[in-house]
Chains A and B, each alone.
Chain A
């Protein structure tokens, strides 16, 4: 086993990663790439980099697996994950998660507003309906977490994270969004993460979770009733956010008049509760009665009167193909995968590829992973993990058996300000250090690191006890109090992580300072120290 002999420097990873040979740009070596130091394998650190950036970090043995396959081949496989089989254990677990395989219509009929209505004001019944709705959302959260931690198609999972936040919906918005958030991810996001942006945009625009979350369901043309009273009217929530957040970017090439015009264009886009109760799937339904049939001017284009449902499609075409959208999305992808302030030349490179391919996300990613900027010392090991990335990477690094109780993990996310499906605003969670690093954030992570490392999180139901934790019960009282007490957890069991396995899993890439801290600490703290090290806070 190689042991790093470097002085205290968090730049360690950055010093060692050079662009893989197959990626070397002709005639120009990336300035910031540095030769590998002799005692550490540069290849190994390249493998670590792709595991950290394409996915949620290494599990024990992953670095060797990537090396065996070759870094370049690994990237290609991640971009084309069709051949990657999830483990039988994971498929069985996912099959057993309730409700995540249901249609939008079935969820609506079984758990949605019709059930609340049937409760007829009976408080006990209403409470039971709400509980069932919460269970549907929690089931989706469990599936999301299990896939992120255990799926071999890691890039697919990080892209689900990226796109979900880009097209964020908030599960707490109301009954409908709550029960449909999981399906939104499953049907509108997941199938398109490497596909054409226009497909993602269309799928999210028509998904009932989005139609509910950003109120388009309720937006109608204004009509005058027979008694002269005004009926209905516009709600411009979705029209504004689809331009500001999903496509063009804030204030880039549109006006308030465009927002209003687009809101009118999208009138009638929604779902019909009656059809849902009848089991009609998919949920999207264009209601021509709600649609504003008059002429509109949108982004300088005239939409002749009577365009109907197709107007919305045409507007989405215009938005998807707009140069501002290309800039906006290229920047966001570069920020997610490379640096909080991505190099402008990289953003331009991605934008060029975006234009050439008509917004083909997989091809843009391929360009990104081949860029010297992705492999630069300014990028490698420099992105501060979000709480979500920290959580998932921690579980992966321990190599512990598949968790069977995710409640303490969802609690950790809530406490750290990143409740799963819990971003209330449509801009989604950020992935920058400025957003997530603050004085209390690290302490919260370290509490989690200690609890996970020492085996004091009840993550397994009815499994035999592993080697009992050598930490005293007193040591962990605080952590246990921190995790919300759940009555069903009383029979749960926990397991401690193996620090030596973890250290190897992470490529032994730690600074001397960190190694010194471990050397003098009590052995039972070591797993927590690895997960709590400055190096592990970054990816």
Chain B
């Protein structure tokens, strides 16, 4: 973990000098590392199909062909709390709900009014809605305040590109997706990579990335070739291969966590949620995606083993979709959405947040679910109560974030 730049963070955030938490936490040695895994659903998932407000008559009026039926009806939602139901394709997550390890924050999101995917994603990743010039990601800033675990895999991003949420001065390891992650390549041969090391011994961004890549590859290769992936991650879905292979990635991520408990922050992303056309209901396009996501989350939880009790998983998306279905049996870009929070430390079994209602008059700009909980409130709550980052540092991770109204997110994190 690279600490040389932590001074810059304090200065960039315009705050007084903040030391990495390792100094403040010296007394806490011996406590197991806490962990946050963020799964971002790019393209704006339809939260009203995930946490279904089945008690609202207007939900069924606005969505004549794509609504999820009430619990008890054919292909109906799975009842959560008498007001909301879970999409039936996420049935595999119900045990987590029952064990109170899964919670939702309905009507949450970024209060910036943009309906641009790219702008809204950027705001959610920089943690600074409305600030167009913000460049580094909140997970990178957060990393600067986490205790140093001396692991090259302290912060991991799955996939070939480093997302905005992780960009910034702290070093983050990108790990390939799928089986490729564990395969040895030419550059893993000492006789060959030594020659390249010599060319990348400078202090510039390329050399830094190269060195981080060499170290993390070494670790990932060794880890993934020591433990087998969970057999469940290979199970075909009704004979078809898993749509996005997320279960395999989740299983591999779990191996890396088990072998590197110092992994504190991880990020994964899934696309394909921009369902303008033929979204489907209990079955169809969105249902298939949800099943793949749910299977991956279940695999992650079970494969993490004892580490699950130190892990919080957040699933979030840039905005929700129109409350009213559009002319092509889909939904267009909307506003409020549901955030998912899972993990051992979560006080789950509850739909958090104030429900703004779905009557025509209650809709944001007459078309979308309104937002009553800022996404940063949820994230700060997790950072504060789970990762135990103090409020001064949190102010640098999420500058100008609204204060969490205690009544809304009270005890989202149980421990």
User: Which residues of A approach B to under 8 Å, CB–CB?
Assistant: 8, 10, 215, 218-220, 222, 232-237, 240, 244, 250-251, 256, 259, 384, 415-417, 424-425, 427, 433-444, 446-447, 450-451, 475-479, 481-482, 513-514, 516-517, 520-522, 525, 528-529, 532-534, 537
User: What residues of chain A lie closer than 8 Å to B175, measured between beta carbons?
Assistant: 440
Bound state CA distance, A509 and B148, in angstroms? 40
- Interface membership of B162, Cβ < 8 A: yes
| In the complex, chain B residues whose CB is within 8 Å of the CB of A256 | 115, 365
Mind listing 9 A-B residue pairs with CB under 8 Å? A10-B202, A251-B114, A259-B115, A436-B161, A438-B172, A441-B160, A475-B192, A478-B186, A534-B207
Asked if residues B195 and A522 are in contact (CB atoms below 8 Å), the reply is yes
A215:B187 contact, CB within 8 angstroms: no
Specify the chain A residue showing the minimal Cβ separation from B171: A439
Given contacts A440-B217, A522-B195, 18 further A-B contacts (CB under 8 A): A235-B326, A235-B327, A235-B332, A250-B116, A251-B114, A251-B119, A415-B176, A424-B271, A425-B43, A434-B135, A437-B162, A439-B173, A443-B214, A477-B184, A482-B180, A520-B198, A525-B192, A532-B196
CB distance from B172 to the nearest CB of A (A): 7
* Chain B facing A: main interface SS: loop
Contact assessment for A438 and B161 in the assembled complex, using a CB-CB cutoff below 8 Å: yes
Q: How far is the CB of B322 from chain A (nearest CB, A)?
A: 9
Is B180's CB under 8 angstroms from A235's CB? no
The answer to whether A437 and B277 touch across the interface, beta carbons within 8 angstroms, is no
Cα of A523 to Cα of B167 in the assembled complex, Å: 38
B 326-368 contacts with A by CB, 8 A:
326-328, 330, 332-333, 365
Contact (Cβ within 8 A) B327 A443:
no
A448 to B404, CA, bound (A): 49
A contact residues around B199 at 8 Å (CB): 513-514, 517, 529, 532-534
Contacts of B173 in A (CB 8 A): 439-440
Report whether A441 and B174 are in contact in the complex, using a CB–CB cutoff of 8 Å: yes
Cβ contact within 8 Å between B176 and A440 = yes
B interface residues, tally (CB under 8 Å) = 61
Complex: A220 Cα to B328 Cα, angstroms: 9
Residues from 255 to 291 in B contacting A, C-beta threshold 8 Å: 271-272, 274, 276-277
A478 CA to B189 CA in the complex, in Å? 9
B183 and A478 contact, CB distance less than 8 A: yes
Asked whether, in the complex, the Cβ of B327 is within 8 Å of the Cβ of A218, the reply is yes
Question: A218-B327, A415-B160 in contact; A481/B195 too (CB < 8 A)?
Answer: no
A interface majority secondary structure: helix
CA distance in complex: A439, B158 (Å) = 11
Do A443 and B217 contact each other (CB < 8 Å), given the known contacts A234-B326, A482-B183? yes
Contact A215 B209 (CB under 8 A): no
From A534, which residue of chain B is reached at the shortest CB distance? B206
Of listed B42, B198, B272, residue having the most chain A CB within 10 A? B198
- Restricting to B186-230, which residues have a CB under 8 Å from any CB of A? 186-189, 191-192, 195-196, 198-202, 204-207, 209-210, 212-214, 216-217
Bound complex: CA A233 to CA B173 (Å): 46
Across the interface, which residues of B come within 8 angstroms of A415, CB to CB?
160, 176, 180
Given contacts A235-B328, A444-B160, contact A439 B213 (CB under 8 A): yes
Distance in angstroms from A300 CB to nearest chain B CB is 20
Tell me the bound Cα distance from A237 to B327 in angstroms: 11
B327 close to A220 (CB less than 8 A): yes
Min distance, Cβ B45 to any Cβ of chain A, angstroms = 15
Residue of A nearest to B211 (CB): A439
Instruction: Tell me the number of A-to-B contacts counted with CB atoms below 8 Å.
Output: 180
Contact of B327 among A219, A447, A478 (CB under 8 A): A219
Question: Are the C-beta atoms of A437 and B205 separated by less than 8 Å?
Answer: yes
A446 touches B196 (CB 8 A): yes
User: Which of B157, B209, B365 is in CB contact (< 8 Å) with A437?
Assistant: B209
Q: Is the CB of B213 within 8 A of A417?
A: no
Bound complex: CA of A425 vs CA of B42, how far in Å?
10
A54 to B271, CA, bound (A): 33
- Inter-chain CA distance A450–B191, complex, in Å, is 12
The answer to whether A427 and B200 touch (CB under 8 A), given A417-B161, A443-B210, is no
Interchain CA distance A244-B115 in the complex, whole Å:
10
Q: Kindly identify which residue among A384, A433, A447, A522 contacts B185, using a CB–CB cutoff of 8 Å.
A: A447
The 10 nearest A-B residue pairs measured at CB = A233-B327, A417-B160, A438-B162, A439-B213, A517-B198, A439-B212, A478-B185, A521-B195, A440-B174, A438-B174
Q: CB distance A446 to B195 under 8 Å?
A: no
Which residues of chain A have C-beta atoms less than 8 A from B192's C-beta? 450, 475, 525, 528
Given A220-B327, A438-B161, A439-B173, are A516 and B198 neighbors across the interface (CB < 8 Å)?
yes
Cβ of A123 to closest chain B Cβ, rounded Å? 11
Q: Within the assembled complex, what's the spacing in Å between the Cα atoms of A8 and B203?
A: 11
> By the criterion CB–CB under 8 Å, are A218 and B206 in contact?
no
Assess A251 versus B183: contact at CB under 8 Å? Given A215-B328, A234-B326: no
Complex CA distance for A525 and B199, rounded to whole angstroms: 13
Give the complex CA separation of A108 and B188 in angstroms.
Answer: 46
Q: Which residue in chain A gives the minimum CB-CB distance to B152?
A: A439
Pairwise interchain contact A440-B213, C-beta atoms closer than 8 A = yes
CB of B117 to closest CB in A, whole Å: 7
- Report the minimum CB–CB distance from A251 to chain B (whole Å): 6
Smallest CB gap from A251: residue in B: B114
Q: Given the interface contacts A479-B186, A534-B202, does A439 sit within 8 Å of B172 by beta carbon? A: yes
Verify B200–A447 contact, CB threshold 8 A: no
The answer to whether residues A447 and B187 also contact, given A215-B276, A438-B162, A440-B160 and a CB cut-off of 8 A, is yes
The reply to whether B187 and A443 form a contact with Cβ atoms under 8 Å apart is yes
* With A439-B213, A447-B186, A534-B207 as contacts: A235 and B330 at CB distance below 8 Å: yes
Which residues of A lie under 8 Å from residue B209 when comparing CB positions?
437-439, 441-442
B177 to chain A, nearest CB (A): 9
Interfacial chain B residues near A476, Cβ < 8 Å: 186
CA distance A104 to B253 in the complex (A): 44
Q: Which residue of A has the minimal Cβ distance to B167?
A: A434
Closest residue of chain A to B201, judged by CB? A513
Chain A residue at minimum C-beta to C-beta distance from B193: A446
Shortest B306–chain A CB gap in Å is: 28
Return chain B residues, CB-CB under 8 Å to A235. 276-277, 326-328, 330, 332
Complex Cα distance, B187 from A528, in Å, reads: 11
Q: Using A439-B174, A443-B217, A534-B207 as known contacts, say yes or no to A416 and B160 having CB atoms under 8 A apart.
A: yes
Q: Which residues on the B side are within 8 Å of A417 (C-beta)?
A: 159-161
Q: Which residues of A contact B188 (CB under 8 A)?
A: 478
Contacts of A236 in B (CB 8 A): 326, 332-333
Most A C-beta atoms less than 10 A away, residue of B161, B162, B183, B214: B161
Chain A, residue nearest B324 (CB): A233
> Which residue of chain A is the closest to B217 with respect to CB atoms?
A443
